[in-house]
Amino acid sequence: MSYEDEYEYKPSILSIIWSWIWSFIVAFIIVGGVYFFLGRPFTVSGASMYPTLHNGDRMVLSKVGDIHRFDVVVLQAPDQDKEYIKRVIGMPGDTIEIKEGKLYINGQVVEQPFINKEILVNKTVYIDDFTLEGLTGETTVPEGKYFVMGDNRGVSRDSRLIG
């Protein structure tokens, strides 16, 4: 028997178990940090973002970066324990208006290639004209707030209804 064979290190079963436990703890902390601070998976429910997103679509929700006009965002529904997915239309300080199906932001017509045009062309759903002031009493989108709408305007529960 050689010297190396006599003193070969063999970890105990307890040290192996502790090694696995610490590996799981570190992995759990990393996954939890990513989930709470960077992003998380999200599944689309409903048709309010059709044709951009469909019921059952899966996506990763990013929690980093700034919000820009026309970004798709997830927000907490104010009257339910649900989340809504919508498109940012109005930024703080913007005026918002819909006239004859056209979106006006700060008095300028804005193209909306992402909306469900079928409802506008076929008039299958009537979308009321509105102004931000008529809906909310505010002339502009307040600081720290955003005006959001679904791409499928006829069925979307968005800032026109929930503020």
Residues with a catalytic annotation lie at 48, 86
CB-CB neighbours of 112 under 10 Å: 18
Cα distance from N-terminal residue to C-terminal residue, the chain: 82
Residue 115 and residue 66 in contact, taking contact as beta carbons nearer than 8 Å: no
Report the distance separating Cα 82 and Cα 80, nearest Å: 5
Binning the chain into helix, strand and coil, the percentages to the nearest 5 are: 25, 25, 50
Residue 109 and residue 145 in contact, taking contact as beta carbons nearer than 8 Å: no
Report the distance separating Cα 104 and Cα 120, nearest Å: 16
